Amino acid sequence: MKKPSILALLLFGFATASLRAGGPEVYKQVAPPPPPVYGTGFYGAIDLGANVFQNFPDSRTFTDDNPNSPFFGESLEVSPDHNVGFFGGLKLGYVFGTGVIRPTIELDSFYNGFDTDTNFTLREPDGDVIGRASSSNRLNSGVWLGNFILRFAPGNQRFQPYVGAGVGLYYAEADGLSFTGPNGETFNTGGGRGHTDLAWDVVGGSDYFFTPKVSAFIEYKFLEYTSTQFNTDHDRALNQHLVGAGVRFFFP
């Protein structure tokens, strides 16, 4: 009687083990990875663009109203051209936080150059043209600005508009004046003295992120070159409107 009982117990054990081996497996729940954060921390950027307008004086007419002058009644029209220029430079900055609103500090340095062309028309008292002349010069400048910027990162953070302002310094120097007279004669002068003074800007733009560390951006900048070292009764500040685009790289 004991042998059948032991055999029955062994068969029951094998059957139980088989049932357990064939049962369903149990998997643990794995949390999904957090969404990526776009555009935070240190970054560097390159940008290029055009200074599309600068506030040169409008056309002016000067008339000789001295009756004793041999040129009495004659007038000279002076018409500056609003030429489009070029700028290009580098940016270094840091974006604080990962929220919807992200304060940013930025060092913006760039070259900024444009031609200053002026046309002259001399007229007789009855309005007939006596002669025409023109002059051209190129103004080259370097700008260094410290900007404070507020960036906005709504939704999935790929599209990030921003606004800001800053202050800094500029250095400007002219290549030299080229003057063409009414008979086609040409006169050239050497470059003018360099000048350093305060500059300030207001910026607005937007980034689009291709990856969490790389974005392309477009930017508008209102830039003013001040003339604090000159004591004059007239505003000699140069205002410019700059439009550009670039690529921004965030460091790991």
Interval 158-209: pLDDT, tens? 999 999 999 999 999 887 667 676 666 666 666 566 889 999 999 999 999 9
Domain ranges for the chain: 40-250
Q: Please tell me the predicted confidence (pLDDT) of residue 57.
A: 65
**Of 194, 198, 202, 206, the residue nearest 240 (C-alpha):** 202
Confidence check: pLDDT of 4 > 80: no
Q: Please tell me the predicted confidence (pLDDT) of residue 26.
A: 58
Which pair of structure tokens corresponds to residue 197? Answer: 């003074």
Confidence check: pLDDT of 12 > 80: no
Q: Please tell me the predicted confidence (pLDDT) of residue 105.
A: 98
Instruction: Give CA–CA dist 200/111, Å, rounded.
Output: 15
Instruction: Give CA–CA dist 98/170, Å, rounded.
Output: 33
Instruction: Give CA–CA dist 43/127, Å, rounded.
Output: 60
Q: What percent of the chain has pLDDT over 90?
A: 49
**What is the fold of 40-250?**
Porin (2.40.160)
pLDDT level of residue 8 (50, 70, 90 thresholds) = low
Tell me 31's DSSP state.
P
Least confidently predicted of 7-11, 32-36, 54-58: 7-11
Q: Phi and psi at residue 11, in whole multiples of 5°?
A: -60, -40
Instruction: Give CA–CA dist 173/31, Å, rounded.
Output: 61
Confidence check: pLDDT of 129 > 70: yes
Least confidently predicted of 2-16, 196-210, 222-236: 2-16
Q: Please tell me the predicted confidence (pLDDT) of residue 70.
A: 80
More confident residue, 1 or 194: 194
Confidence check: pLDDT of 78 > 90: no
